[in-house]
Structure 1
Amino acid sequence: MNNKGFKSGFVSIIGRPNVGKSTFLNRVIGQKIAIMSDKPQTTRNKIQGVYTENEAQIVFIDTPGIHKPKHKLGDFMMKIAQNTLKEVDIIMFMVNAVEGWGRGDEFIIEKLKQTNTPVFLVVNKIDQVHPDELLLFIDKYRSLYDFKEIVPISALEGNNVETLLETLKKYLPEGPQYYPADQVTDHPERFIIAELIREKVLHLTREEIPHSIAVGIDAIQKRESGNAVYVNATIIVERDSQKGIVIGKQGSMLKEVGKRARVDIEALLGSKVFLELWVKVQKDWRNKASQLRDLGFREDEY
C-alpha cells in the first residue's frame, strides 16, 4: 500500500536507563510489548512498536538505555543503541523531569552531535514536577543542543502524547505502509513471551535479582486437541543463591512468576496458555559470547 500523501518512518527512542521509554511505547501502541520495571536497563534488545492510523505509520525503536558498559552484554546493548541513531528518520531523546540532568545525558548529547538526524527532546514525567522547575530543566538541555522540537509529556498519564505523535508525523517523509495495520511489533512472539516472563521475575524479586537473569523459550506448542498453547521456558541465573530466590520457598516465587506471566501471555496470544518454568544456573553467562548467542543476542544482526 502506498497511498499518495501517506507518511511513514522510523523513530528511535533513546535516553538514560529508566526514563520511561517502554512506558511510552506501551501507551502509544496500546499493548504490552515492552517490559516495564522500575529497575534500570530492563530493555536489552530493539523492540519495534508499530503505530498505524489512516494517514501515517510510525515504527518506534526502543533502544537499551545508554550507560557505561560493564560486561559483554553491556557492550552489545550500547552498540545497538548507537547503531540505531544511524537508521532512523527522527530521534526522540527522552529525559526524566524528576531525576533531572545527569552525566549520562551529557554522554548521549555527545553522540547526538555526531548525527544529522532531527532530534526531539521529549521530557517525560511532567505530572510529577512544578511547571517552574520544568522550564529551568528544559533551558538546561536547550543550551547544550539545538533540538528540532521540545515536547513535555507524561507517558504514564498520557498527557500530551497525542501532541507528540502529531509533531512526529510532520517530520516523517511520504512513504509506504511497512506493516499491516493490525501488527503492533515485528518481534516474534517467542521474544515477547520471554520478555514478559523476565519482567515478572524483576518485579517480584526486587533488588535480590538484578540484571543477571535471562529467559530462554524451550518450546511453544499448540496441540491438536483444543486451542491451548503450551509454553516451556527456562529462567537463567548466574548463581545458586539466585536460583533459590527465583524458585522461592516450596516453589512459591516461581509459581507466582508463572501465574502473572501467563495472564500477559494469554492476552498476547488470545488463547489459553499452559506455562511450565524451569530455573537453571549458568555462571557468568553475561560474559560468555556463546551463551549470549544462544539467548538471541547476536551482534551480526545490528
Structure 2
Amino acid sequence: MTTNFKSGFIAIIGRPNVGKSTFMNKVIGQKIAIMSDKPQTTRNKIQGVLTQKDAQMVFIDTPGIHKPKHRLGDFMVRIAENTLNEVDAILFMIDAKEGYGKGDQYILDRLNQVKRPVYLIINKIDLIHPDDLFPLIEQYRVKYNFEEIIPISALKGNNVEPLLDVLKGHLPEGPRYYPEDQVTDHPERFIISELIREKVLQLTKEEIPHSVTVLIENIETRESNAIFIQATIITERKTQKGILIGRQGSMLKNIGKSARKDIEALLGTKVYLELWVKVKKDWRNRQSQLKEYGYRDDDY
C-alpha cells in the first residue's frame, strides 16, 4: 500500500432503469449486478469493489428509488435511502434521454437531508444529440448544489475513466477494505440466483413482472470438478408458473440454458443447473417469506 492510498464507499442512486447496474458492471469489469430493460431489477444493495494501485473504490448499486406498491417495494426503497448515510460520496444517476421527472425531485428532496458530496451522473449520452446535453445540465444545476456534473455512457464506456479519476481525487486516505482480487462482497449463491432471475426477466418479457425470486437449494462439486446447482424460481400465481415452464418445458429450459452460460463464466468451470418453479401466493407482501428469501432489514 502506498502512503497516499485512498479508499471509500460510493453509492449509486437514481430512478429505476437509469443504468446503475450497467455502470457497476462496466467499472468492475465483469457482471455482478443483473441487467434488464425492466425497472426495479436490483432488489438488494450490491457492492462492487474496484482496486487500483493507489485506491480502492467500493461502489454500492442500490435499488431504484420509486413509489412502492408492496412490502418488497418498501424494502427496496429503505435499502436505497439508508445507504445514503453510510457512504463517502453519492452518484445520482439520471437517464439523459428521459430527462427530469417527478421521481428525480423525490430523490433530490432526500439528498437535501444528507451531508455527503453528490455527483450528478448523466448517463446514456450516446442516445441524445450533443446539443441537448447543455440544457439538461442547466436544468439540474439550479435544483441542487452538485459537487460536479459528469455526462457518461455506461454502456459504451464514454467518460467513465475520467469519472473514476474525479472520484479518486475526492476520496479520503484510507485502508484497502477488501483483497485485491475481490470484486464483490456478495457470496456466489447470491450472484447465481440473480443471474437466473435476470434470465427470467429477459426471456419472459412483459408476461412475468417482478413477481419472481430465485432460491438456491443446493450447490455441490462432483466428478471432474463440475458444479451441480439446484434452484427454485418462486412466483405468485399458477398462470405465471405455466408461463415460466412453457410448452413442454421450453421456457424453463431456455432460462436454464442462458443462465448456465453466465454461471459458468462466473465460476470458471462446467455447471449443471436444475430448475423448478413453485407458487407462493402474494409472497412480496408477506414479511416471513421476504425474510426467508433474503430480504432482511436487519442486514442493513
TM-score bin, normalised by smaller chain: over 0.9
CA offsets 1:155-177 (integer angstroms, 9 cap, x no match): 00000000000000011100001
- Name the structure 2 match of 1:290: 288
- Name the structure 1 match of 2:210: 211
- Name the structure 1 match of 2:196: 197
Q: Which runs of 5+ in 2 are unaligned?
A: none
User: CA RMSD, aligned part only?
Assistant: 0.7
- Name the structure 1 match of 2:115: 116
CA offsets 1:211-244 (integer angstroms, 9 cap, x no match): 0000000001112x32001100000010000000
In 2: Cα distance, 1:71 partner to 1:78 partner: 11
In 2: Cα distance, 1:115 partner to 1:288 partner: 31
In 2: Cα distance, 1:283 partner to 1:126 partner: 41
SS in structure 2 of the partner of residue 74 of structure 1: helix
Q: Is 1:300 aligned to residue 298 of structure 2?
A: yes
- Structure 1 range deviating more: 142-151 or 124-133: 124-133
* Pick aligned residue for 1:274 from 272, 275, 289: 272
Q: Is 1:38 aligned to residue 67 of structure 2?
A: no
In 1: Cα distance, 2:140 partner to 2:244 partner: 41
- Name the structure 2 match of 1:10: 9
- Name the structure 1 match of 2:262: 264
CA offsets 1:165-203 (integer angstroms, 9 cap, x no match): 000001110000111111100000000000000000000
- Name the structure 2 match of 1:50: 49
CA offsets 1:103-152 (integer angstroms, 9 cap, x no match): 00000000000011000000000011112211111111111000001100
Q: Is 1:244 aligned to residue 235 of structure 2?
A: no
- Name the structure 2 match of 1:147: 146
- Structure 1 range deviating more: 50-59 or 128-137: 128-137
Deviation of 1:94 after TM superposition, in Å, equals: 0.2
What are the equivalent positions in structure 2 for 1:218-237 lying under 5 Å apart? Answer: 218-223=217-222, 225-237=223-235
Residue type at the aligned position of 2:143? L
TM-score by length of 1: 0.98
SS in structure 1 of the partner of residue 85 of structure 2: helix
Moved over 2 A (4+): none
In 1: Cα distance, 2:265 partner to 2:3 partner: 35
Residue type at the aligned position of 1:299? D
In 1: Cα distance, 2:47 partner to 2:53 partner: 20
Residue type at the aligned position of 1:114? Q
In 2: Cα distance, 1:83 partner to 1:39 partner: 23
In 2: Cα distance, 1:124 partner to 1:273 partner: 35
SS in structure 2 of the partner of residue 83 of structure 1: helix
Residue type at the aligned position of 1:272? K
- Say whether the 8 Å CA contact 1:3–1:176 is kept in structure 2: no
Q: How many residues align?
A: 300
